[in-house]
């Protein structure tokens, strides 16, 4: 495994202590569900004190289309949204979601891709905060405008061609982190075509994360190694639209693979071109 692991997660009690400081971290509520209702409704019902809601679909991602259901955001639009949320250059940010860790991981990835390194995920999200007996409020803050500058490209990304080459590379691993029936082509509840990128390896998200909580680094390394992620061989991840796969990239960072790439468009981009090949069945031997 290459790279060094910096602090990526924060537990509720630790975050509560940090929020009591004179200059606390900027807190972003990014709760989201694939099929709705909007996370803003959850935010209105109760959120961490001082948190600002940021919408995954409309503020952290671009418009859905051939590039995928959650493509990269326009840098200028992302910068405006982050500044409105109070994100400051170099100042720590903590993101949280409804507990599954997926939208928080995509928010983490997006800020890191945009050049903002000081960002962590609340481990276990909003449910972990509530379970710890910590306060919840409904007041909507109006933070001072931030001054963050978005500088895209700080984390590696894959387009469809690069994903195909990585899947075919030896050494090299492209992880498909969707549910196994979707990978095998037996079911596809969201996209118009079932199956997977030829050569990709199936590693469903529950195999490395449980209810939004990650095991230790060594356990993660073992689980990724079982899928072929060994040494310094290139590794990337995809899912349906780049949200669950961002969580895989976070897990890979926790395991020490800070070079892991995200296929942002993921399956929703792959199948937008009918000329791209589609494979079905179990993970092939390598």
Q: Which of 28-42, 65-79, 233-247 has the least mean pLDDT? A: 28-42
In-domain check, residue 28: yes
Residues 167 and 99 in one domain: no
Adjacent-strand bridge partners of 236:
174, 261
Residues 69 and 178 in one domain: no
Query: Does pLDDT of 34 surpass 60?
Result: yes
pLDDT band (50, 70, 90) for residue 3: very low
Give Cα separations from 70 to 59, 93, 159, 238 (angstroms).
11, 22, 13, 12
Residues 182 and 118 in one domain: no
Tens digits of per-residue pLDDT, 193-235?
Answer: 999 999 999 999 999 999 999 999 999 999 999 999 998 999 9
In-domain check, residue 163: yes
Known active-site residue 239: yes
Residues 18 and 104 in one domain: yes
- Listed residues 131, 166, 201: the one ending a domain: 131
Distance CA 29, CA 121 (A): 11
Q: How many domains does the chain have?
A: 2
pLDDT band (50, 70, 90) for residue 286: low
Range of the domain at 236: 157-270
Residues 106 and 188 in one domain: no
In-domain check, residue 191: yes
What pLDDT shows up at residue 35? 85
Residues 79-100, mean pLDDT to the nearest whole number: 98
In-domain check, residue 138: no
Domain of 90, CATH number, reads 3.40.250.10
What pLDDT shows up at residue 37? 87
Residues 113 and 176 in one domain: no
pTM for the structure as a whole: 0.96
Residue 181: strand, helix, or coil: helix
State the catalytic residue, choosing from 52, 197, 239, 264. 239
Distance CA 145, CA 112 (A): 20
Distance CA 204, CA 157 (A): 20
Distance CA 152, CA 21 (A): 31
Residues 97-103, mean pLDDT to the nearest whole number: 97
């Amino acid at each position: 495994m290459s790279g060094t692991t910096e602090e990526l997660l924060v537990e509720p009690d630790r975050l509560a202590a940090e929020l009591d400081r004179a200059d606390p971290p900027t807190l972003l509520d990014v709760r989201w569900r694939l099929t709705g209702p909007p996370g803003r409704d959850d935010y209105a019902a109760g959120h961490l004190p001082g948190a600002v809601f940021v919408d995954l679909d409309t503020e952290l991602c671009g418009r859905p289309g051939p590039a995928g259901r959650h493509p990269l955001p326009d840098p200028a639009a992302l910068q405006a949204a982050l500044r409105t949320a109070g994100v400051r250059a170099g100042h720590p940010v903590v993101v949280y979601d409804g507990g599954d860790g997926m939208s928080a991981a995509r928010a983490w990835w997006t800020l890191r891709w945009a050049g903002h390194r000081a960002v962590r995920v609340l481990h276990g999200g909003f449910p972990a905060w509530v379970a710890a007996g910590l306060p919840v409020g409904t007041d909507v803050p109006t933070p001072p405008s931030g001054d963050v500058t978005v500088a895209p490209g700080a984390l590696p990304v894959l387009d469809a061609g690069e994903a195909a080459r990585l899947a075919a590379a030896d050494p090299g691993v492209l992880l498909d982190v969707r549910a196994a029936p979707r990978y095998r082509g037996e079911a596809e509840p969201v996209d118009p075509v079932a199956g997977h990128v030829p050569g990709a390896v199936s590693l469903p998200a529950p195999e490395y994360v449980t209810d939004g909580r990650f095991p230790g680094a060594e356990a993660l390394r073992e689980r990724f190694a079982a899928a072929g992620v060994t040494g310094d061989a290139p590794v990337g991840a995809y899912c349906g639209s780049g949200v669950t796969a961002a969580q895989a990239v976070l897990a890979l960072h926790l395991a020490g693979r800070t070079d892991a790439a995200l296929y942002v468009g993921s399956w929703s981009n792959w199948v937008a071109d009918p000329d791209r090949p589609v494979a079905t069945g179990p993970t092939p031997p390598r």
